[in-house]
Amino acid sequence: MRTQIVAGNWKMNKNLDETEILLSELSAKLPDSTAEVIVAPTFVNLASTVRQLQNSVIQVAAQNMHFAENGAYTGEISADMLLNIGVEIVILGHSERRAYFGEDDALLAKKVNTALDKNMRIIFCFGEELEERKSGNHFSVVESQLKNALFHLDQSQWNNIILAYEPVWAIGTGETASPEQAQEMHAFIRKTIKDAYNDEVAEGVAILYGGSVKPNNAAEIFSKPDVDGGLIGGASLKCDDFTAIVEAI
């Protein structure tokens, strides 16, 4: 069976005090879970988060990183800096990075290469915009996002890839893809990977759904055979909601 994963992308939310409070609450209340649980606080709070979660099963991810080893990239963070503080997972390709910071497939392919060279695990996000779905192009958009950023990888490198399908129209809007829409796309993603690689890669990779996952819709979405968990935004900022979503899996 594939690993099931629930990850919380905190985005630009929670200062240090708030981060410590939410982590304590989560540590106390998270149910025993066979799923992996990951939180991704903002960069400035990553080191303290790793320390606070030292004896916890909750893992820590960064929300982004630069592709270069080091150097004159003001405001950026390298893979080595993350590894040095104990962060071994990174979210790449989030639609907010693509939309507001101009990250395209070519740049993401470089980031992916760097993260994998450093033996980090990647939660790779992708998904279509509303217009692309309305015009029936959602499958081809998703296929090209995957192809351009990931299909140059060797089979063995896929062991460190977690996919997160996040339709842009469902992020932070309260509008969720229906469980059927999620399953349809996840099955398409798996088939696309199978065609490019083989069954082993396609069946082995975890594909998370992201986009307005809440306690009241998580169980149904997670029940779909090709949905292996969720990448949660807003609902990951409240202990009760995030805990309920982990329980749903």
Rounded to a whole number of angstroms, the minimum distance from the CB of residue 96 to ligand 13P is 7
Quick check: 232 binds ligand 13P (CB under 6 A)?
Answer: yes
- Residue 69's CB is within 10 A of a number of other CB atoms, namely 11
Q: Tokens 């081809």 map to which residue?
A: 140
134 is written with which tokens? 């309305």
Candidates 4, 5, 6, 9; binder of ligand 13P (CB under 6 A) is 9
CB 128 within 8 A of CB 81: no
Alpha-carbon gap, residue 208 to 185, rounded angstroms: 11
Nearest position to ligand 13P, beta carbon? 233
Quick check: 171 binds ligand 13P (CB under 6 A)?
Answer: yes
Tell me which residues are annotated as active site.
94, 166
Alpha-carbon gap, residue 118 to 83, rounded angstroms: 9
Quick check: 167 binds ligand 13P (CB under 6 A)?
Answer: no
Quick check: 241 binds ligand 13P (CB under 6 A)?
Answer: no
Rounded to a whole number of angstroms, the minimum distance from the CB of residue 53 to ligand 13P is 20
Instruction: Based on DSSP, count helices (H) and strands (E) in the chain, helices before strands.
Output: 11, 8
Compare residues 31 and 172 and give the one whose CB is closer to ligand 13P.
Answer: 172
Backbone angles phi, psi at 230, to 5 degrees: -145, 155
Candidates 4, 64, 212, 243; binder of ligand 13P (CB under 6 A) is 212
Compare residues 39 and 235 and give the one whose CB is closer to ligand 13P.
Answer: 235
CA dihedral 201, 170, 225, 216 (to 10 degrees): 140
Quick check: 127 binds ligand 13P (CB under 6 A)?
Answer: no
Quick check: 90 binds ligand 13P (CB under 6 A)?
Answer: no
* Among the residue ranges 49-57, 70-78, 155-163, 211-219, the one whose residues contact ligand 13P (CB under 6 A): 211-219
CB 214 within 8 A of CB 235: yes
Candidates 211, 239, 246, 248; binder of ligand 13P (CB under 6 A) is 211
Per the rule left: phi > 0, alpha: psi between -120 and 50, beta: everything else, 112 is alpha
Contact positions vs ligand 13P (CB under 6 A): 9, 94, 166, 171-172, 210-213, 231-235
